[in-house]
Structure 1
Amino acid sequence: MKGTDHSGTHTDATDNLKEELEKLKERLVKAEKQKDELLLSKLSADRERDEAQDELGKLMDLEVEQYKENLVIKENQERHLNTVKQQNIELQREIQKLQDDLAAKGSEVSQDFWIKRDIPKKKMKFTGMENAGNEETFLNTCCLYHIAAKIPFSLQQRQALLTFEEEDVAQKLIRRGKHTVSLDNGKIDLTAMPVTLETGVKFELHVTISGEEINVSDIPDIQIPDEWIRDKLELNFYKSKQGGGEVKNVSYDRRSHTATITFLRPGVADNFMRCTTHPFCINEKRFMLSVSPSIEKHLEKFQIFSGISKRTLLLSGTHEVEEDEESMQDMIEIHFQKPSNDGGEIESIKYVATGTKLAYFEEDTETVA
């Protein structure tokens, strides 16, 4: 019978316990270490949280301050905008007032340069020929007028105008100023003054009468398309018994009831100038159109001039006298023709006893009406 060795088993159990104990210690050390790391992490997280809360608080405070500043800025901008709007309204009123004043003054200024002169009828005579520069010039009738408007001067009651043949005579008498003229019943003192003229104008008027176009007016207002009216006008003037021809173009304006007809063949336009009206049938109705030449007018070399007449003087200062107008004019003329009175040859003289008369001056010669 064999015996059992219990000491070996006990030893193995003790070793196992020791191993377990060592493992537990290691685990405990690890756990403590993890705990310390967690504590450190928590402390770091708390610190970061506190810093974040502080930063958030600062940002919130900054946002509140920024909001308040924005409110102040917005209020200031609104006040400034209202001020600017008010200033703009006042400026617009002022601009409108200035524009009205400028328009009124411009109208006044423009009226100073308005020209209204009746050009008298004159006989025309042939003076020469020029070679046509191109076909268009040959087809058209071109006229050139040189116009110089006479300058009116208002001669008042008991005033006289004297125009001398020599400029020096008039200027000497003006420099002398006072003159005593002997009359049948006494003497009168006269003052010689220069004649300041109003504004005068000169220009060239160029007139071109087209040999290819005519103007048509009084076109009836019929509710059909414009293209149809153009076609009917073209057909009408193409087949006209007045000497129509092929039409190159029709320019029609419904608003003004007018049209411009351009013919392809030269000379056709002249055929319609013999009569100022032309029949026009449309929609079984007959109308009469007004026909006129196509005329282009423009000004060139327009000049405005003013100044003082060098050979003419104005006499004033006469009081009421017994002599009639013709006698008074004769005595003035006799006095100022004498060289002893610094006078000279008089080209024209006009004395006005009562009322007002107009004297007209031209650029080179001066005449009295």
Structure 2
Amino acid sequence: MDLTSPPLSLKENGFSVTTPDPFGTSKDEMERLKEELKKWEERVEKAKKAKADLLHCKLSADEERVTAEKELAKLTDLQEKQHKDMIMSRDTHERQLYVLNQENAELKREIEKLQEDLAECSSVLLRDGQIKKKVAEMKMKFTHMEDMKDDYPDANTHCVFGVTTKIPFRLNQNHALLTFEDEEVAQRLIKMGKHTVNLDNKIADVRVKPFTLEMGIKFELHVTISGKKINVSEVPELCIPEDWMRDKLELNFYKSEQGGGGEVESVNYDKQSRKAVITFLRPGAADSFVRCTKYPFFVNGRCYRLSVSPHTNVHLEKFQLYCGISKKTILLKGIQETEDDEESVQDMIEIHFQKPSNSGGEIEKIKYVSKGITWVCFEEDT
């Protein structure tokens, strides 16, 4: 402190009293400090106001943050739910796709099999107009014998046979075929589509499907047994010319010791195959050889046994291909495997579809396959 500063002067009762300034601050300096203090107070007010604004902004931001966190939690829950639904839906679609792919593969195999059979049946046409095909077992039925004596003086015998192939069908694993006595029962079950069957206290939803059989073949087999010609085989090999062998065969059959034979018109002999065809002049001369399987042949002092058979001419007529359809038969798919044997499961299926309460009826035949595959054959109804 500067003690030499001039003293302050106070006027009281008409006289002047001087009070010394302990800080030695002038009036101007005081004014300046007051102005500066005022500025700082203003700055403090501004700072307080700014602080209040910041606090308000912070509160608003906290509220928005809480709201955003709630929305995020909702979105997360929704996303998880959608993900779970998507997984479940994908699994369901994958199972359905797997079933469809299995059925599609099975249908493709059946189509390929039908195409192969059709190609075998129709594409192998020989130059002479005959058709070769590997067919299933045939059912042959004698229909009638034609009396053609007036038109054919050779006294030939003409027989006609009706021939129909059995149509095979491939029965796959866990499938069954049911043939009903009444066609309406089968068609009614096919329209229903699905059936619930109780297999050893296990409920199985099986599907009833119609099906198409493979190509079938029908034709008439015309057999003509000659009344003038016979076939001879197992002709002995002799060191003589072919002309001599023909002459010996002609002389041997000119008059048969068994009461048949007669004048020979011609002898067609093949040395390599050791076979011959004997043609007689008299119609009906060959009839006596129909039941003769071995015939004596005398040559050079020895007796040989020739095989004799009727000479036949066979040809086909009314050959036709047809698509087999079984209106009384249904195909069951989706039969679940059980611990019971195949025969027991087959019996349970038969019992179920025999009941009228299950829209069933009397069953003619049933076939169920639990393992592997099997082939069943269908015959044309006559």
Give the alignment's TM-score, normalised by structure 2. Answer: 0.57
Going from structure 1 to structure 2, the CA distance change for 1:138 and 1:128 (only over 3 Å counts) comes to farther
Q: Deviations over 1:334-367 (max 9, x none)?
A: 43345554444444333334454443212227xx
Give SS of 1:174's match: helix
Going from structure 1 to structure 2, the CA distance change for 1:299 and 1:137 (only over 3 Å counts) comes to farther
Equivalent AA in structure 2 for residue 170 of structure 1:
A
Equivalent AA in structure 1 for residue 353 of structure 2:
F
- Superposition pairs for residues 1-369 of structure 1, below 5 Å? 110=124, 113-117=133-137, 131-134=147-150, 136=152, 139-243=155-259, 244-338=261-355, 341-354=358-371, 356-364=373-381
Give SS of 1:259's match: strand
Going from structure 1 to structure 2, the CA distance change for 1:345 and 1:320 (only over 3 Å counts) comes to same
Equivalent AA in structure 2 for residue 185 of structure 1:
N
Equivalents in 2 of 1:147, 1:118: separation in Å? 7
Going from structure 1 to structure 2, the CA distance change for 1:135 and 1:148 (only over 3 Å counts) comes to same
Going from structure 1 to structure 2, the CA distance change for 1:194 and 1:234 (only over 3 Å counts) comes to same
Equivalents in 2 of 1:147, 1:342: separation in Å? 37
Going from structure 1 to structure 2, the CA distance change for 1:349 and 1:290 (only over 3 Å counts) comes to closer
Give SS of 2:295's match: strand
Give SS of 1:296's match: strand
Going from structure 1 to structure 2, the CA distance change for 1:272 and 1:132 (only over 3 Å counts) comes to closer
Equivalents in 2 of 1:319, 1:140: separation in Å? 61
Aligned residue pair count:
257
Equivalent AA in structure 2 for residue 328 of structure 1:
V
Q: Which residue of 1 aligns with 2:45?
A: none
Structure number with the bigger relative contact order (C-alpha 8 A, sep ≥ 6) is 1
Structure ranking higher in helix proportion: 1
Q: Deviations over 1:49-82 (max 9, x none)?
A: xxxxxxxxxxxxxxxxxxxxxxxxxxxxxxxxxx
In structure 1, stretches of 5+ residues that fail to align are: 1-104
CA contact (8 A) 1:212 1:265 kept: yes
Equivalents in 2 of 1:210, 1:297: separation in Å? 11
Going from structure 1 to structure 2, the CA distance change for 1:112 and 1:237 (only over 3 Å counts) comes to closer
Going from structure 1 to structure 2, the CA distance change for 1:112 and 1:168 (only over 3 Å counts) comes to farther
CA contact (8 A) 1:194 1:308 kept: no
Equivalents in 2 of 1:255, 1:249: separation in Å? 19
Give how far 1:311 is off.
2.3
Give how far 1:216 is off.
1.2
Equivalents in 2 of 1:246, 1:188: separation in Å? 78
Q: Deviations over 1:180-204 (max 9, x none)?
A: 2123422012121222212211111
Equivalents in 2 of 1:164, 1:335: separation in Å? 13
Q: Deviations over 1:110-166 (max 9, x none)?
A: 59931252658x8x8xx9886545263672222111121221223334321122344
In structure 2, stretches of 5+ residues that fail to align are: 1-118, 125-130
Going from structure 1 to structure 2, the CA distance change for 1:254 and 1:312 (only over 3 Å counts) comes to same
Equivalents in 2 of 1:338, 1:116: separation in Å? 35
Equivalents in 2 of 1:253, 1:262: separation in Å? 15
Equivalents in 2 of 1:150, 1:106: separation in Å? 16
Going from structure 1 to structure 2, the CA distance change for 1:272 and 1:183 (only over 3 Å counts) comes to closer
Give how far 1:314 is off.
0.9
CA contact (8 A) 2:149 2:155 kept: no
Going from structure 1 to structure 2, the CA distance change for 1:183 and 1:281 (only over 3 Å counts) comes to closer
Going from structure 1 to structure 2, the CA distance change for 1:185 and 1:258 (only over 3 Å counts) comes to same
Equivalents in 2 of 1:289, 1:164: separation in Å? 54
Give the alignment's TM-score, normalised by structure 1. Answer: 0.59
Give how far 1:294 is off.
0.6
Give aligned-pair identity as a percent: 58
Give how far 1:214 is off.
0.8
Give how far 1:320 is off.
1.6
